[in-house]
Amino acid sequence: MSYQCPVCGYGELTRPPENFSICPCCGTEFGNDDFDRKPSELRDEWIEKDMPWFSRSTLKPRNWNSYRQLIIADFGADLVDHPRMDNDVNYRYEVNKAFSEVRIAKQLKALREREQEPLTQSQLATKADMKQSRISELEGMNYSGWSINTLERLAKALGVAFKYSFVRWSDLTFDIKRGLSDQTLAFPSFEREPVRQIVGFFEGNREQAFYSALQAGRSNTVSILQGAIAAPPPRSLTKEMNSYGTIINSPSPRRHSRVA
């Protein structure tokens, strides 16, 4: 049984974070340091100190990275809201790199486990001509050596597109604050992209196109069709769309994880 530190997100505490136990990662003494300060305040202080590993007796995990740990624990918003984001250029790029690494690892797993077309790690490995252990390592969120070649092979195996692009900092921070839910990361492969329903819609068979998309559980088709509607749909459809919208837009219970 292991516990997570509410300050730094370290997930391998051997005792619950209370009764004067100490986090080996950030050094918080629970019941003392957090007696009159909130975990978020202690986290800001740890970030200010450049997130050093505290313990001399407990060694850092292999490939340990404080930025990735905070992002995995869903504290990414605290990283981008910290004043260091404005004042420290190296910090800013470390946040960028750690978020990109965690995001691509989570996205790989979310795409592999898509409800409509799931693959095991071995099946994906075969399609991408890799070993299963390699897929496991890439999905582990602690991998740091991504190559374009690997990403292109995985994209082809998953049937999705892959683009290189530079982005604005405001777009990156928006993504970090939104968090990494499977809903924002997974989408259908080329073969299952919703071309037919959309064609049907524009050919005038609105109602059938909607029902078909709803029945297939294709959230992206439904949003495309919703966006394309000039006139409001019939009443029966409005009701069903609303209930569907609630499902695809319901906020995740985790902090900072909201579908925009």
Residue 129, class by beta-carbon neighbours within 10 Å (0-12 exposed, 13-18 middle, 19+ buried)? exposed
Q: Which is nearer to Zn ion, 25 or 47 (CB)?
A: 25
Q: Which two tokens stand for residue 75?
A: 């504290």
Q: How far, in Å, CA of 86 to CA of 212, rounded? A: 48
Q: Which is nearer to Zn ion, 77 or 214 (CB)?
A: 77
Q: How far is the CB of 56 from Zn ion (least distance, A)?
A: 15
Interior/surface letters 74-103, b for 16+ CB within 10 angstroms, e for the rest: bbbbbbbebebbeeeeebbebbbebbebbb
Closest CA to 117 of 209, 32, 193: 193
Q: Which is nearer to Zn ion, 30 or 91 (CB)?
A: 30
Amino acid at 136: S
Q: Which is nearer to Zn ion, 8 or 186 (CB)?
A: 8
Query: Rounded to the nearest 5°, which phi and psi values hold at 22?
Result: -120, 135
Helix (H, G, I), strand (E, B) or coil at 253: coil
Q: How far is the CB of 6 from Zn ion (least distance, A)?
A: 8
Q: Please name the helix (run of DSSP H) or strand (run of DSSP E) that holds residue 126, with its range, or none.
A: helix 121-128
Q: How many residues does the chain have?
A: 260
Q: How far is the CB of 33 from Zn ion (least distance, A)?
A: 10
Enumerate binding residues for Zn ion (CB under 5 A).
5, 7-8, 10, 23, 25-26
Q: Which is nearer to Zn ion, 22 or 225 (CB)?
A: 22
Q: How far, in Å, CA of 40 to CA of 44, rounded? A: 6
Residue 40, class by beta-carbon neighbours within 10 Å (0-12 exposed, 13-18 middle, 19+ buried)? middle
Helix (H, G, I), strand (E, B) or coil at 29: strand
Q: How far is the CB of 73 from Zn ion (least distance, A)?
A: 10
Helix (H, G, I), strand (E, B) or coil at 77: helix
Q: Which is nearer to Zn ion, 46 or 143 (CB)?
A: 46
Q: Which is nearer to Zn ion, 25 or 72 (CB)?
A: 25
Q: How far is the CB of 5 from Zn ion (least distance, A)?
A: 3
Q: How far is the CB of 143 from Zn ion (least distance, A)?
A: 23
User: Is 154 within 8 Å of 105 (Cβ atoms)?
Assistant: no
Q: How far is the CB of 93 from Zn ion (least distance, A)?
A: 24
